Structure 1
Amino acid sequence: MRRLWPLTVRGTGAAVLAVACFVIANEVGIVELMYFGILLIAVLVASVASLYLTRRTDTVTRSLSPDVATVGRDSLVTVRVGVRTALPTAPGTWRDTVPKGLSAAANGVFPALGSGLRGAERIVQLSYVVTGVRRGIHPIGPLQVTSTDPFGLARRTTVFGERTPVTVAPAVVDLPALTNFAGEAGGTLHTTNNQLGQGADNLIARPWVAGDSMRRIHWRATAHRDELMVRQEEQESTPEATVVMDRGVLRFSPEAMQAPGTDPGFEAAVSACVSVVSRLVHDGYAVEVIDSDGTVLAERMDGGDMTEVEGMVNQFASLTARRDDHLGKLGRVFAGVMTGPVVLVVGRFDPADAETVASVAHHSTLALLLAVSPVADSLERAAELGWHAAAIDPEGDLALAWSSAAERGVSHALR
């Protein structure tokens, strides 16, 4: 905000003293006081003029490291200010405007600059640390620089209107691996092998049996084993997993549909979703993220490709709830197919919902349910119908809920 009054407290006192000198000189006829008052006014005018003649800022740019901020983590903001000035300038102060979605002490001392007679641009680099507070896209800026003259009589506050949008991604919690279910759920740590008899993924040798073509004899293995061996192709299949993020606003609060980061329950669900995807992709699953009606929220990510996960997390920075409730359609999405692990992340969840999604558990090698606001005995009912269920809390430990649900089938540890 610009200050309309250009004088500091010291300068204001000098102006008051000058006026008093004029009044007293006029009343008592002391000419010297008149001269002193004129001198004070001249000094004040020179002080104000020096601020407007010495510094001109042309450019303000910002960079963030890392490029995308994350809720609960620190990022370094570097501000580069291009300054042109023909005369030396005194030091001042600076303050960058930080929105509510970020937290930072964005202020400091703006350095003094020496004389630049040719008016060449000089770069002043400022930096501060920001912490992600609320998911979304938040603009940093404008930058305010306040300068004072060498006598401290006048000030000038300059506002540079350039703003820099900063993306704040949801927090990714490090979840434990589903070690108790790796073989059952089909992770690539326990890759499924299909014996095909043709193909060229991986060649192995097996003993010859009647009916095998002589063209497939593996002569090197035959010489080593001293018996006829034939080539057998082994094909590795990458297991798939599906993460369902139910975005129905009726299961959260109306704020969840208006802007990211406004509803704690929806934020807990988004964080749980991206954390589960990160865990599954890390463990080798090819993961697809969908809404409860089958709408794709993130394209299929290959197992082990954490770069794709990072892109999905950044994409979810602007995810909001939607008006319609489609949880009842989830059964149709998986009807007639058998798939790997299915993880359902939902807000409010009641016993009737448990009946609605019961069929999904029978089409999955491992069905996990994470509910932000379970009602009554809905989690117990879901567990009876084949789900491994857990209640997650915005202030609780997601990793504990994740592991305890997988081990015991249902968990209220964090409620």
Structure 2
Amino acid sequence: MGWTSKTSSKNCSPAPPSASWHRMEKTPRFDSRNALSWVRSERSTPATLRRLRLDLLTVRGWCTLGAGALLMFFAYLFGRHELMALGISLIVLAAVSWGLALGLRGRTRIQRQVLSTVPSVGEVCRVRLSCAESATIQERLPESFGPGPKFEAPGGLDYELVFGTRGIHQLGPAQQIVSDSLGLIQGMVNTGETMDVPVRSELIDLHRFASLGEQMLTGDARHSLSTTADYYDVAIRDYQQGDSIRQVHWKASARQGKLMVRQENHVATAQALLILDTAFDHWCHSGVDLRLSIPAGAKEDLPSSRRFETALSLASSIGLCYASSGYQLSVRDLSGAPLISEHPQATSDVAAQSNFESFHAATAVLALSTGGTEMAASEIFGDGLHKELLGYRDEPVIMILGELTMIQARWLATLARTVRHAEIFILVAHPERYSDVHQELAGTGWKIHLIPATMGAEQMWGGA
């Protein structure tokens, strides 16, 4: 299922049959995580010239302008009209070539199409770039990818991207290489428009790790079902001693010639609650945390840290495990505010997958919160979340936290009387400093994980 740039609806005409489609033996792949795959070349052109687009002038173009200005100066000194005309002609020639090159900006019709579904971090995203006019086109990729692919139009090419961070990444505008027959102009001008590509958080296959994939979805936590029916499955069976007379299905009994009763089977969706700590101070509070900037398209970048990105990847991976097992996932922050728009009216399988997809899609733009709700120093959850936990006594609850003090751990341990099945992941810079916290929570019967901040999600379960 592919999707196309909104800005290229007028440019969707297919390339003519005679156009060459640039298909290489191996589709070029650009991986933003591999910083050694390309070398950044510093531009020697002054920034002022680039801003005015005077960098399009070649050495010959600058010499032509200089010669024209010099001839005009000599014409002024010696009063020679023919020198003045020649000088003006050289300047006009260079200026016209420069103006025609700038006039090509946005004129070339470019079509850009993402052939893959909405990608996640680490997944291969296939993109198609095409142009129906004669031109030399080079794609512009986000800076972390390096120089983009180049092709001769009419035609196009396919290329692959592997994103190293989540967010809204921008592709384009593409650049057209322009030149003139006199050699006065040589450079690239923007053509076409940008395209936003949302990239979701990374997914790790936790099913292959026994420490998480099996323990969470088996045993006591797996059997628990919501007490609210999604629907009732009605069936007809033979009458048995003890059945109420009100359950007799008289029409079916008349057809079968014996007493038949109506049986209503309660069909419910398994519920699970995922609590994700999104407080900025809990993830970016020490010098150990590697700060990151998450692209947000045309908006300002979102602040984050490597530790929070690991936590978000873990949350998405756990959510996928539960959704695949039929759990309808609710996602809350520490205040109890929902991080996704839920679909309580949907039936079980649809609701489970829909809620996870909503959460995973939201991770592309999920930002850390800088202002939290007012709560006591000993409490880590807001009143709204505290009340909601009352409805998850026999349901699995997963907590992913970035900071937990000893006094908060004692308060959290008191919830063991309310929540029976909980699994807590605490991602901290120095796990050895949290031995008391771990010991306090270990007495609850919950599963407690202290995870070092330097460990990625893949490494986290690699040794399980």
Fold match (TM-score > 0.5): yes
In 2, Cα distance between equivalents of 1:15 and 1:72:
50
Of 446, 449, 452, 1:387 maps to 446
1:10-409 to 2 correspondences below 5 Å: 48=97, 52=101, 57-58=106-107, 59-81=109-131, 83=133, 92=136, 94-100=138-144, 103=145, 105-111=147-153, 124-149=155-180, 154-160=185-191, 162-176=193-207, 178-180=213-215, 182=217, 184-185=219-220, 187=222, 201-203=233-235, 205=237, 208-210=240-242, 212-213=244-245, 215=248, 231-253=262-284, 259-260=301-302, 262-300=304-342, 303-305=348-350, 306-322=353-369, 323-324=371-372, 327-329=380-382, 330-335=385-390, 338-373=393-428, 374=431, 375-377=433-435, 378-393=437-452, 396=455, 398=457, 401=460
Looking at structure 2, the residues matched to 53 and 183 of structure 1 have their Cα atoms a distance apart, in angstroms, of: 65
Q: Report how many residues are paired.
A: 362
Change (3 A) 1:211 1:201: closer
- Distance between the aligned counterparts of 2:242 and 2:356, measured in 1? 49
Q: Is the 8 A contact 2:121 2:202 kept in 1?
A: yes
CA RMSD of aligned residues (A): 4.6
SS at match of 2:434: coil
AA aligned to 1:94 is Q
Name stretches of at least 5 consecutive residues in structure 1 with no aligned partner. Answer: 23-33, 84-88, 114-123, 405-412
What TM-score results when the alignment is normalised by the length of structure 1? 0.69
Deviations 1:310-353 (A, max 9, x none): 23211121111212266243544324762410000111223333
1:340-384 deviation line (CA, Å, top 9, x unaligned): 100001112233332222233333342011111154212332222
In structure 2, how many angstroms separate the alpha carbons of the residues matched to 1:211 and 1:66?
56
Q: How far apart, in 2, do the equivalents of 1:94 and 1:193 lie?
A: 55
Cα deviation digits, residues 35-75 of structure 1 (max 9, x gap): xx99xx79x86994896499675244433233533222221
* Alpha carbons 1:184, 1:365 under 8 Å: kept: no
3-state SS of paired residue (2:361): helix
SS of the residue 1:296 aligns to = coil
Larger relative strand fraction? 1
User: Taking every aligned residue pair, what percent have the same amino acid on both sides?
Assistant: 22
Q: 1:143 to 1:46 in 2, by over 3 A?
A: same
Query: Normalized against structure 2, the TM-score is what?
Result: 0.62
1:403 and 1:228 map into 2 onto residues whose CA distance is 60
Please name the residue that 1:118 is paired with. Answer: none
Which range moved further: 211-220 or 276-285? 211-220
Question: What is the deviation of 1:284?
Answer: 0.7
In structure 2, relative to structure 1, the CA distance for the partners of 1:369 and 1:204 (3 Å cut) is farther
The code of the aligned residue for 2:323 comes to V
Q: Which amino acid aligns with 1:376?
A: Y
Q: Distance in 2 between matches of 1:362 and 1:403?
A: 33
The amino acid that maps onto 1:96 is R
Q: Is the 8 A contact 2:303 2:368 kept in 1?
A: no
User: 1:49 and 1:332 mapped to 2: Cα distance?
Assistant: 68
Which deviates more from structure 2 when the two are superposed, residues 367-376 or residues 354-363?
354-363
Does the 8 Å CA contact 1:72/1:133 hold for their aligned counterparts?
yes
Which amino acid in 2 is paired with 1:179? E
Measured after TM superposition, the shift of residue 303 of structure 1 is 4.7
CA apart distance, 1:159: 2.1
Give the AA of the match of 1:64. V
